[in-house]
Amino acid sequence: MELPLSQTLESQPSLKEALSKFDSSAHQEFSTITTASMLPHHRLFYHLHTIWLFTYTDLKTIVFPSSAFGIVTALSSSMLQTIPLQPTSVLQRLPAVFLWTWLNLLPFCIGNQRQAGAILEDKQNKPWRPVASGRLTPRQAIHLQLSIYPLVLLASALIGGIPQSLILIVLEYWYNDLENDKRSCVTRNLINASGFMVYSSGALAVALNGESLPSQLYQWQLLACAVVATTGHSQDMADQDGDRGDCLTLVSCCTSILGVGFCWVFGIFCSRIRSQYQNFGY
């Protein structure tokens, strides 16, 4: 008498394992064939969408705030006639500002999301990200990142912000490849704050199209840097499920305590900045 198929598989675990491996390999082969058989414009859209997914979550934290800082600061300086630029000239630079900010953000995001720890975290918190979802392997992500850097430097040489782009490359290596984001909560927040200040400075440089501003205005960037250094960790609160065991929850708690103490110093600093800007005419 023949046994049912289910009992046969249970009685022969090696056969069940072999069938499971065959099903997995067949699924991978089918996925590869499906991707390879895409029409050219479908493949192009697929790859563009992959690149877009790298920066999607950082649009609201880096691209929009930094671009807004550059444009608004340039507009206010133009209206107050501290720079020889008309407001319309500043607004015409808006696409260039967004392009510079996004291009410089892209390699940083790729470098961060290709790390082994980040992949495990993203599988829990953001499984749609390119490396976590399998759209790219970590090695492919490295090749993509390195191929983007020449494009970033070329764009910066044409539209402005080349010093800031070079600084961001150093910060990316320091943060991701040297894993300073995990060694100390203080170091992690300082690098994040420095990056935010450099992104804002680069956006402003592109908006000004080579014009320089009075040095007092850059105190606002230091002010923003201080804010990010003491509050930037709060954005990790939504990722606590993936951060457990990675010490990042502890980092958030510790830096939150530091942030409360900083509020007193921050208030005094704001008062001094306000008095200086009243004397400066703002």
Q: Is pLDDT at 271 greater than 60 in this prediction?
A: no
The residue to which tokens 């492919």 are assigned: 140
Q: Which structural domain range is residue 140 located in?
A: 43-214
In a domain, 141, yes or no: yes
59 residue type, one letter: L
Residue 246's CB: how many other CB atoms inside 10 A?
15
**Local structure of residue 3 (DSSP, 8 states):** P
d(CA 213, CA 201): 11
Q: Looking at the domain assignment, is residue 54 inside a domain? A: yes
Exposed/middle/buried for residue 133 (C-beta within 10 Å: 0-12, 13-18, 19+): middle
153 occurs within a structural domain: yes
Domain count, the chain: 1
- pTM of the entire predicted model: 0.71
Q: How far apart are CA 64 and CA 59, in angstroms?
A: 6
Cα separation of 204 and 97, whole Å? 8
Residue 13 confidence (pLDDT): 47
State both tokens at 85: 């630029």
Those residues whose C-beta lies under 8 Å from the C-beta of residue 90, and which sit 6 or more positions away, are 71, 74, 75, 78, 207, 208
Residue 37 maps to a domain: no
Query: Which 8-state DSSP code applies to residue 211?
Result: -
In a domain, 121, yes or no: yes
Mean pLDDT across 229-245: 57
pLDDT-based confidence at residue 21 (cuts at 50, 70, 90) = very low
Q: Is residue 260 part of a domain?
A: no
- CA separation for the pair 120, 126 (Å, rounded): 10
Reported as type and span, the H/E element at residue 54 is helix 40-55
- The mean pLDDT of the chain is 75
87-91, 175-179, 216-220: least confident range: 216-220
Q: Residue 212: which pLDDT band, with cuts at 50, 70 and 90?
A: confident
Contact 109, 212 (CB under 8 A): no
The answer to the question of residue 73 being in a domain is yes
* Model confidence pLDDT, tens digit, residues 63-102: 999 999 999 988 887 776 677 788 888 899 999 999 999 9
Looking up tokens 């394992």, which residue turns up? 17
- Mean pLDDT computed over 245-272: 50
**How far does CA 133 lie from the centroid of its chain?**
18
Backbone phi, then psi, for 244, in 5-degree steps? -60, 135
pLDDT digits (tens, 9 = 90+) for 124-138: 889 999 999 999 999
User: Does 172 reside within a domain?
Assistant: yes
Percent of the chain with pLDDT over 90: 36
| Cα dihedral across residues 174, 176, 177, 180: positive or negative | positive
